[in-house]
Structure 1
Amino acid sequence: MINELTKQKTSTEFKDKAEKFMANLPYREKPYSGRNWGHAWHSLCSYHGKLKPAIAHLLIKEFTEEGQTVLDPMSGVGTIPFEACLQGRIGIGNDLSEMAYTVTKAKLEITDKKKVERILTELEDYINKNTVEYRADDIPYSDFGLNGKVPEYFDPKTFSEIIAARRFFIDKEIASPEDAFIFSCFLHVLHGNRPYALSRNSHPLTPYAPSGKFIYKKVITHIKNKIELSYKKGEWDNFMEGQAIFGDLFDLPKKVNNVDAIITSPPFFDSIRFYSSNWLRLWLSGWEPEDYKNAEMRFLEGKQKRGLNIYTEFFNVCSNLLKENGKVILHLGKSNKCNMATELAKLAIQYFQVVYVGDEDVEHLEKHGVSDKGSTTAHQFLFLIKK
């Protein structure tokens, strides 16, 4: 057991670091402020709502130590646990989205290039054998899409290959890091506004309604190009293999324990819905039209809109997962409708000491071509330590 004097010292040191971090906001300084700063695999697959890698990097660097276990229970595409692995920590990422889990697995678990090549050969053979020419009145998903119908994004032959490749991965399931890596590359090239993308001209983050000519693009070639490019980039000298978990965060105590730190960025209270902004890649991951209708009931993003009390259970889970004096750092979004840090701090005190709360004004920040950040006026950091 840790005595009270040690607990107090740990808490004081944690607070001092938190205050310094918020006073300096080091990720705003060069080189961290660069738009493309960080390991190349942070861009393994585009994802709307991804935490800025520099923030994840510096939170890991400042508030954890090498060899410690760092968990993100709502990891998205694994930005935080990937940074932990890159810095010699054991990064664990959990998510309930099939797409997010797959990309996280690709980043955290080491791949064997020979296995990748073998699976690519299987995929290519499958596409060649299962590509069909659809009749105009029989095109799959011609009635489904959140911003244009799915087939409108692709040349008919390309779309037929996509359907075949999608079925390959659904039937196979994402069982290995090699599967996850190949599929993540497939997800990335699905849509965008440059030649790498399989789609007509759209947007690489959110698939806006497509425009321009229908041009045939061979699916396996585009996937291979992305894979080759990914392997050429990034350094792995201090990388420690982590773990990706698929499932509800409230089930994590059955799967994980003795965590040193939990660092996560929950859905902002008044931001856009992740499943609508990432809808086309979720479809590729196996979602069917009915899944979008039920998403509000499944994901924390929807549950919290019915009441933030869901976070009482969240903090209970975090407390059970953490070691004594374990830390929690939450990156939150403040809006005119909700001061998330203040409200969550009230719910955390049953299990945690509130060490520090800091705000960062973001109303002036660049949107990088996407203006749908909701009504978020500030980013907040809530620093907690287990009682």
Structure 2
Amino acid sequence: MKRDPFFVHEYLRMFSLPDQDGQTTLQLDQTTRCDTLCINDDEYCRYTNEFWTARQRQASKLHEISYRACFKPQLPRFFISLLTEPGERVYDPFTGRGTTPLEAALLGRQIISNDINPLSRILTEPRLFLPVYEEIKARLYAIPDNPEETSEIDLSMFYHPDTLRTLCSIRGYLLDREKRGELDRTDAWIRMVATNRLSGHSPGFFSVYTLPPNQAVSPERQITINRDRNQIPPYRDVREIILKKSRSLLQGIDQKQRENLIRAADSSLFITGDARRTPEIPDNTVSLTVTSPPFLDIVQYATDNWLRCWFNGLDAEEIGKQITITRKLADWEAVMGEVFRELFRITRPGGYVAFEVGEVRNGSVRLDEHVIPLGITAGFTCTAVIINQQDFTKTANIWGVNNMSVGTNTNRIVLFFKNPE
């Protein structure tokens, strides 16, 4: 059986990263380092290697939606390809920008997506329903600039007046369509792309230069940035920026992937709620969960997304109250313990959970060592701890996330297995 834990152990132990042509050439620096992790007098296999890399196989352009604290598509692809077959159900209880469900859909799996932040569904679901470029263009240019559509908050530090006028007109159109229940797939695509282009550090975004596009700084902070850089918001052509990003996202998707996306969309389940309670998901139906939970208080998800919430008519403060941001490790463990109990209920016998965590607080807290007892208490067995060697990206360095700083130092995935009944 492909999913048998013994097979998984052998696969990880003998793993060698394929090259660009898909050929596996065993090199000394690619061999897996095997050791054991001892927790509460029990030992667990730990495998360290470069199991996936951005150099291995170019991820679909559809993934190129910025979001704070998201993993690369190669991570869920590794586990989806190894542990599931086409048509099986893959789940992410903390979906974020949608990396796991989108990659699962591209690979021909059924998907379930959950996130307590409604922005997650806004960013994820439209990428299952690919519109025709000409339809996007026609819809955008059918929305007139309406001088009566204005922002209820001052955004002049981010946008040129003409840019803001167009942005508010598109926002008003989308909110009205949603209110009347008339928001269609083309509208949803435009909303998704516009949400992603609100602020950033290049002319490809609507705003003046600001920090990387996975976070919106406060208006006060942006005023300081403008003063320090001696800049004023330039005019940006909102419609053309949306069209340019749409062309990029739709690039290189083959017919097989399009068919997979359609099938996944037809059977998809999107939930906006607490991962500890998902009654919408039947018992014993999920073959694989691949997820990365909120890490203590490292990332302020609601605060980072206040501008995106404004554009979509959402209350960022209210959303923030519902997101698990804890400073105390014991509080985080209590919440994750409940999540694991729910995951055990919905995972089918013989199914897996790949739970990605990392080192936080200057490496003093290794969350994998805290996660293992939580999964076992819920009823799972711990198959292995998988550590993926990686280099930090430019964005991570901008944020001060490196091997001697806050944030995660490595991809550490605890792989759990639900024994057959």
Cα 1:53–1:281 shift into 2, 3 Å: same
Contact 1:133–1:157 (Cα < 8 Å) also in 2: no
Residue 297 of structure 1 deviates from its aligned partner by 3.0
**SS of the residue aligned with 1:153?**
coil
| Equivalent residue letter for 2:279 | P
Between the aligned partners of 1:167 and 1:309, the Cα distance in structure 2 is: 41
Indicate which of 325, 332, 336 corresponds to 2:350: 325
| Equivalent residue letter for 1:298 | Q
| Equivalent residue letter for 1:206 | Q
Contact 1:200–1:214 (Cα < 8 Å) also in 2: yes
Mean Cα displacement is larger for which, 312-321 or 166-175? 166-175
**SS of the residue aligned with 1:183?**
helix
Question: Does 2:295 correspond to 1:271?
Answer: no
**SS of the residue aligned with 1:349?**
helix
Residue 88 of structure 1 deviates from its aligned partner by 1.7
Cα 1:236–1:311 shift into 2, 3 Å: farther
TM-score, length-normalised on structure 1? 0.81
**SS of the residue aligned with 2:288?**
strand
Gaps of 5+ in 1: 1-5, 143-149
Question: What are the equivalent positions in structure 2 for 1:1-387 lying under 5 Å apart?
Answer: 10-19=4-13, 22-28=47-53, 30-32=55-57, 37-43=58-64, 45-111=65-131, 116=136, 119-120=139-140, 122=142, 124-125=143-144, 128=145, 130-132=146-148, 140-142=152-154, 150-173=155-178, 176-202=184-210, 203-208=212-217, 209=222, 210-211=225-226, 212-239=231-258, 240-241=260-261, 242=264, 243=268, 245-248=270-273, 249-255=275-281, 258-288=285-315, 291-292=316-317, 294-302=318-326, 306-335=331-360, 336-350=363-377, 351-360=379-388, 365-368=392-395, 369-373=397-401, 374-387=406-419
Residue 53 of structure 1 deviates from its aligned partner by 1.7
Between the aligned partners of 2:244 and 2:112, the Cα distance in structure 1 is: 29
| Equivalent residue letter for 1:219 | V
Runs (4+) off by over 6 Å: none
**SS of the residue aligned with 2:296?**
coil
Cα RMSD (Å):
3.0
TM-score, length-normalised on structure 2? 0.75
Between the aligned partners of 1:274 and 1:18, the Cα distance in structure 2 is: 33
Cα 1:303–1:98 shift into 2, 3 Å: farther
**SS of the residue aligned with 1:97?**
coil
Cα 1:39–1:316 shift into 2, 3 Å: same
Cα 1:72–1:375 shift into 2, 3 Å: closer
Between the aligned partners of 1:280 and 1:254, the Cα distance in structure 2 is: 30
Cα 1:207–1:69 shift into 2, 3 Å: same
| Equivalent residue letter for 1:80 | T
Between the aligned partners of 2:270 and 2:149, the Cα distance in structure 1 is: 38
Cα 1:188–1:375 shift into 2, 3 Å: closer
Cα 1:75–1:256 shift into 2, 3 Å: farther
Cα 1:357–1:176 shift into 2, 3 Å: farther
Between the aligned partners of 1:238 and 1:218, the Cα distance in structure 2 is: 31
- Identity, in percent, stands at 21
Cα 1:50–1:274 shift into 2, 3 Å: same
Residue 30 of structure 1 deviates from its aligned partner by 3.6
1:245-295 alpha-carbon deviations (Å, 9 max, x no partner): 14112342324551111111112235222223333223322234xx33x44
**SS of the residue aligned with 1:47?**
coil
- Between Structure 1 and Structure 2, how many residues are aligned? 357
Residue 42 of structure 1 deviates from its aligned partner by 0.8
Residue 12 of structure 1 deviates from its aligned partner by 2.1
Between the aligned partners of 1:67 and 1:56, the Cα distance in structure 2 is: 16
Residue 69 of structure 1 deviates from its aligned partner by 1.2
Residue 352 of structure 1 deviates from its aligned partner by 0.6
